[in-house]
Structure 1
Amino acid sequence: MTVLTLTLIMLVCAFAAVAVKRVPTGQVHSLYRHGKPVRLLQPGTHVVLPLLDRVGHRIDLGGRTLSFDASLVETKPMHGTVYWQVLEPERADAVIEQADQLIRNRVLDALHAEVEAGDEQRREVAARLKSNLNSHLRERGVMVTRVELEAA
């Protein structure tokens, strides 16, 4: 075999290796071609066009957490945790990079709108907060599963 033949074989093997994408269970990868979304790669092995296609986002379908701190009243700071997950990756792909900031802003806005809550009312405030968040986030393919509030 000549050097040219060996080089060609190695180039074809490298090209084939780059063309195969493996998506782990519990994730979805968004595939982009020329900067535009083409399709979602579900868990499993896929063949893509290496020079044209690229993976845009790796979306974890499991639950995520987001901690936040807020001062409802200067004398009563509050912090908590929001548990959320992606339900519709097709919709969530467009906002997945800003999802944490979007949720944090919505939480802080909703908490500042609430009156100062006592310990017995914290669960009610958390339930209203979860409902408020879900009404805004469902259209983006994201769902809040639980909100926990604690006085600092």
Structure 2
Amino acid sequence: MTIMTFTIIVVLALAAVAVKRVPVGQVYSLYRNGKPVRLLQPGTHVVLPLLDRVGHRIDLGGRVLRFDASFAETTPVQGTVYWQVLEPERADAVIETADQLIRNSVEQALQSEAEADQQQRREVATRLKGNLNQQLRLRGVMVTRVELDAAA
């Protein structure tokens, strides 16, 4: 193998690594030297190989989180939180811990609620959704729906 052939192979490999394709419905955060540089929107992008790396692949579609908590620390409750990323610029910093952040917020909000029957569960879920959105809005995340079930 000649030096010319080796050089061509290296150049082609770097060119292949430099092209990033972001699927529709996702955003990639691009990092350089450990610091966020920009977000790559859906489409094909050219990045600097060996300097830039994709930090997070943020799905803009809805996500589902199941949780187990309790009303006022007495009655066990299971439920589902449906959420999605609205502002990837803000959500990039917390995307890896978003599930735990939502789970902790649910537990805190439910501790202040009294035990509820089936009709009141809808009202509690609505208040919980509002409370979660108030806490998460600054992080670029929105809760779209909360469903509460009595634990078995």
Query: TM-score band (shorter)?
Result: over 0.9
| One-letter identity of the residue aligned with 1:77 | P
Matched, 1:38 2:37: yes
SS of 2:13's equivalent in the other structure is helix
Q: How far did 1:62 drift?
A: 0.1
TM-score of the pair, normalised by structure 1: 0.96
Q: Which amino acid aligns with 1:33?
A: R
How far did residue 70 of structure 1 move?
1.2
Scaled by the length of structure 2, the TM-score of the pair is: 0.96
Give, in angstroms, the shift of residue 76 of structure 1: 2.8
Give me the CA root mean square deviation.
1.1
In structure 2, the gaps of 5 or more residues are none
How many angstroms apart in 2 are the aligned matches of 1:147 and 1:73?
18
> Which stretch shows the higher mean deviation, 47-56 or 75-84?
75-84
Partner Cα separation in structure 1 for residue 73 and residue 105 of structure 2: 20
Task: Show the counterpart of 1:53.
Answer: 52
Q: Any idea what SS the aligned residue of 1:6 has?
A: helix
1:70 aligns to what? 69
Q: Give CA-to-partner distance per residue, 1:64-119, whole Å, 9 cap, x none.
A: 01000113267631100000000000000011011000000000110111000111
SS of equivalent to 2:57: strand
Q: Identity of counterpart residues, as a percentage?
A: 75
Q: Give the 3 Å change call, closer, same or farther, for CA 75–133 of structure 1 in structure 2.
A: closer
1:135-150 matches, within 5 Å, as 135-150=134-149
For 1:74 and 1:56, how far apart are their aligned partners in 2? 38
- Alignment correspondent of 1:123: 122
Matching residue's letter, 1:118? D
Q: Distance in 1 between matches of 2:3 and 2:57?
A: 38
Determine helix, strand or coil for the equivalent of 1:58: strand
> In the alignment, is residue 114 of structure 1 matched against residue 122 of structure 2?
no
Q: What is the CA–CA distance in structure 1 between the aligned matches of 2:55 and 2:75, rounded to whole Å?
A: 42
- In the alignment, what sits opposite 2:9? 10
Instruction: Check conservation: 2:72, 2:113, Cα contact below 8 A.
Output: no
How far has the Cα of 1:3 moved from its partner? 1.1
Q: Which amino acid aligns with 2:58?
A: I
Q: Where in structure 1 do 4 or more consecutive aligned residues deviate above 2 Å?
A: 71-76
- The amino acid across from 2:6 in the alignment is T
| Unaligned ranges ≥5, structure 1 | none
> Is contact 2:22-2:42 (8 Å) kept?
yes
CA contact (8 A) 2:67 2:79 kept: yes
CA distance in 2 between partners of 1:85 and 1:27 (Å): 12
